[in-house]
Amino acid sequence: MASAEEKYDDINVTPMVDLYLVLLLIFIIMTTAGVQGMKVDLPRAGGKAAADISAPKTQAITINPEGKIFLNTIPVTLPELETKLSALKSSTPEFPVVVRGDRASQYQGVMDVLDVLGRVGVEKIGLATQAPK
């Protein structure tokens, strides 16, 4: 039988591994929460929501109330948007695009973006709205 005064040479690493897993989980949650995009006040739509197109390769184009255009939170002009989407189209033939226009933005800004999407040849286009109350 082992006596009570006997020393142990082993270190119990289970609590340390648990701590690392919790820290990893917190890091993953905070990283994904910080990459949501820009905040805009979306208009409301009635009816049923469209199919979920939240695949990893979905591109988000945002038009803020001042009329500035953002491609995945990066500010772009219309010619830059067309160039970047054309390059993306050459590498990935089919990718969905979600257009997010603030309710206070001018309708012409949304139409300009849709015109660029048509010239590039993007076929999967969604318009983001808020769910009805």
The mean pLDDT value of the chain amounts to: 80
Please tell me the predicted confidence (pLDDT) of residue 35. Answer: 54
**Which residue segment(s) compose the domain that 108 sits in?**
59-127
Query: Does 32 have pLDDT greater than 70?
Result: no
Exposure string over 67-89, b if 16+ CB within 10 A, otherwise e: eebbbeeeebeeeebbebbeebe
Number of domains making up the chain:
1
The confidence score (pLDDT) of residue 38 equals 66
Instruction: Note the pLDDT of residue 48.
Output: 65
Query: For residue 37, what pLDDT is reported?
Result: 63
- Among candidate residues 122, 108, 110, the one with its CA nearest the CA of residue 42: 110
Quick check: 1 pLDDT over 60?
no
Question: Which domain CATH number covers 77?
Answer: 3.30.420.270
Distance CA 62, CA 65 (A): 10
Assess if residue 110 is contained within a domain: yes
- pLDDT tens per residue across span 33-48: 655 566 777 777 766 6
What pTM does this model have? 0.58
Query: Is 66 contained in some domain?
Result: yes
